Amino acid sequence: MGKKLYIETVGCQMNMLDSELAVAALRKEGYELVDSPKKADTILFNTCSVRAHAEEKIYSALGRLKHTKSYHPDKIIGVMGCMAQNHQETVFKRAPYVDLVLGPGQLHQLPELLQDIQTNGGRRIEVSLDRRAASRKTVEASFESYDPLRDPQMRPTPYQAFVRIMIGCDKFCTYCIVPKVRGPEQSRSPEEIELEVKQLAAEGCREITLLGQTVNSYKVRSNGQTVRLSDLLVRLHEIPGIDRIKFVTNYPNDMRADLVEAVRDLPKCSPYFHVPAQSGCNEVLKGMRRGYTVEMYRDMLAMIRDRIPEAAITSDFIVGFCGETDASFEKTMQLVREARFKNSFIFKYSPRPGTKGADQLPDDIPDAVKKERNNALLAVQNQISEEDNQPFIGTQAEILVEGPSKTSQKRGESGHSLQLTGRTTCDRIVVFDGNPRQIGQILPVRIYDANAFTLFGSVITDHVGPQLFQLGRVPSPSS
């Protein structure tokens, strides 16, 4: 019986969380994780549909398994996540040897379906309803939020965890496939979220990142009262053991003062806001149906900076959206120059069939121009990121140590001393020399160098006050 599992995950934090939950559920059934499809009896792809490239990569990976499957017909191949919901039966057409297609709203069925395929053979497809297939309530019910008990071993570090506070999206930006594949916006109850975070704290988790496609639109009626994200932060802030709270991704129009003030007033909340602008040009924003003008976006930035001057703000941009002229692109460059984001993620527009953008507007910007604009915007942003990191040199920061740095992993470092990576509360990456016992700790470091993406620091070893010596505790050399 197939109990060796290989899973490949692409896409956003929601997918990373879904994979963690899926693997946790399968481990309970006796599955063991392996690091290559060759060693596995069950191969799962957790997929993304935000850009065509992400989908094509999965089809290529599936293509490479065609032979494997012909030699080992017992191996089970499953496609789950957004592409499963988006392409449905098409996955079987393009890769007929796939056994399972499972939408993100059907994740809870995974163990049972794999068991069923093992026992009875044949293909299975389980997806949620299309948004216009039935009443809103019925469609909502077909997207199940799957957040069962957690398994800290399944996370990259047990000290950090994603917590889903809502699913779906109702904004329908014209370029975006998410409302179609992740379904209607639905917020989870604060009680359920609180229970989950308490359990994470009991397992040793110190930092939580609350997830939602438009996380600051979070809103539920509970005991006759409206609970928004700001109220939820107050409740989660009370939970002992949790030291840091972050949330992504924010929608500009729903960035209310009460939320920013909650972040300012609650010391565990990171002063970090990922709030994608997508474009700096009103005509393009209108075509995207983002629901705001660049002036409104600027006011929102000013509101954050007025309350939290040191806040780290990051953004996403799409270049080469339908009708984006040189002049409109220059307006985006201007916004990036003046907004001074900590960093920006920049994407070339990729038309997604089934969205208004793809179905009603021509994809009229040549790929070469998209590429050029992407590079130009990235260069401006990188220069700002580098400039904005310089003032940190010589300062002290508290970092949550995440684990060995990428360099350390590449070098295959192990043992007592190695290069570690951690993050400041404003989400800046800090690299320093340390030892494995420091992983999971929050440590003070002195920053001695910086580039656009990384701060370089060294652990401050003299921060342990004399009271600890009086209590008879010998501080470790690292703390």
Q: Applying CB under 6 A, which residues contact ligand 5AD? A: 50-51, 175-176, 276, 278, 316, 318, 347, 349-350, 352
Q: How far apart are CA 363 and CA 348, in angstroms?
A: 11
Residue 384 CB, nearest approach to ligand SF4 (Å): 23
Element (H, E) at 79: strand 76-81
Residue 464 CB, nearest approach to ligand SF4 (Å): 45
Give 278 or 438: the residue with its C-beta nearer to ligand 5AD: 278
Partner touching 172 among ligand SF4, ligand 5AD, none, CB below 5 to 8 Å by kind: ligand SF4
Partner touching 307 among ligand 5AD, ligand SF4, none, CB below 5 to 8 Å by kind: none
Q: How far apart are CA 250 and CA 215, in angstroms?
A: 5
Q: How far apart are CA 381 and CA 359, in angstroms?
A: 32
Partner touching 169 among ligand SF4, ligand 5AD, none, CB below 5 to 8 Å by kind: ligand SF4
Considering the rule CB under 6 A, would residue 214 count as an interface residue with ligand SF4? yes
Which residue in the set 65, 176, 205, 308 belongs to the binding site for ligand SF4 (CB under 6 A)? 176
Give 57 or 237: the residue with its C-beta nearer to ligand 5AD: 57
Tokens of 479: 């703390």
Residues 237-256 that bind ligand SF4 (CB under 6 A): 251
Considering the rule CB under 6 A, would residue 358 count as an interface residue with ligand SF4? no
Give 271 or 276: the residue with its C-beta nearer to ligand 5AD: 276
Give 78 or 179: the residue with its C-beta nearer to ligand 5AD: 179
Backbone angles phi, psi at 47, to 5 degrees: -110, 165
- Residue 291: count of CB within 10 angstroms of its CB: 15
Length of the chain: 479
> Cα-Cα-Cα-Cα dihedral of 33, 100, 61, 364, to 10°?
-130
Considering the rule CB under 6 A, would residue 213 count as an interface residue with ligand SF4? yes
Tell me whether the omega of the peptide bond preceding residue 249 falls within 30 degrees of 0, making it cis: yes
Candidates 297, 397, 398, 387; CA nearest to 339 is 297
Q: Which is it for the CA torsion 192, 218, 343, 49, positive or negative?
A: positive
Partner touching 251 among ligand SF4, ligand 5AD, none, CB below 5 to 8 Å by kind: ligand SF4
Give 174 or 424: the residue with its C-beta nearer to ligand 5AD: 174
- The contacts of residue 133 (CB under 8 Å, 6+ apart) are 139
Candidates 177, 236, 188; CA nearest to 212 is 188
Strand 100-102 to 76-81 pairing: parallel
Q: How far apart are CA 254 and CA 228, in angstroms?
A: 11
Residue 182 CB, nearest approach to ligand 5AD (Å): 12
Considering the rule CB under 6 A, would residue 169 count as an interface residue with ligand SF4? yes
Element (H, E) at 285: helix 282-288
| DSSP tag of 189 | P
Residue 53 CB, nearest approach to ligand SF4 (Å): 17
Give 374 or 389: the residue with its C-beta nearer to ligand 5AD: 374
Which of 164-172, 220-228, 299-307, 400-408 is the region at the interface with ligand SF4 (rule: CB under 6 A)? 164-172
| DSSP tag of 278 | B
Which of 61-69, 146-154, 170-178, 380-388 is the region at the interface with ligand SF4 (rule: CB under 6 A)? 170-178
Q: How far apart are CA 245 and CA 85, in angstroms?
A: 31
Considering the rule CB under 6 A, would residue 179 count as an interface residue with ligand SF4? yes
Considering the rule CB under 6 A, would residue 105 count as an interface residue with ligand SF4? no
Considering the rule CB under 6 A, would residue 178 count as an interface residue with ligand SF4? yes
Backbone angles phi, psi at 315, to 5 degrees: -145, 165
Residue 182 CB, nearest approach to ligand SF4 (Å): 8
Partner touching 214 among ligand SF4, ligand 5AD, none, CB below 5 to 8 Å by kind: ligand SF4
- Assess contact for 318 and 347: CB atoms under 8 A: yes
Give 168 or 190: the residue with its C-beta nearer to ligand 5AD: 168
- Assess contact for 401 and 431: CB atoms under 8 A: no
Which residue in the set 139, 173, 181, 336 belongs to the binding site for ligand SF4 (CB under 6 A)? 173
Estimate to the nearest angstrom the gap between the alpha carbon of 400 and the chain centroid: 18
Residue 370 CB, nearest approach to ligand SF4 (Å): 18
Which residue in the set 59, 92, 172, 345 belongs to the binding site for ligand SF4 (CB under 6 A)? 172
Tokens of 364: 């009229």
Which of 21-29, 122-130, 171-179, 429-437 is the region at the interface with ligand SF4 (rule: CB under 6 A)? 171-179
Give 187 or 278: the residue with its C-beta nearer to ligand 5AD: 278
Considering the rule CB under 6 A, would residue 171 count as an interface residue with ligand SF4? yes
Give 50 or 197: the residue with its C-beta nearer to ligand 5AD: 50
Tokens of 45: 């792809």
Q: Which residues pair with 33 in a beta bridge?
A: 5
- Binding-site ranges for ligand SF4 (CB under 6 A): 169, 171-173, 176, 178-179, 213-214, 251
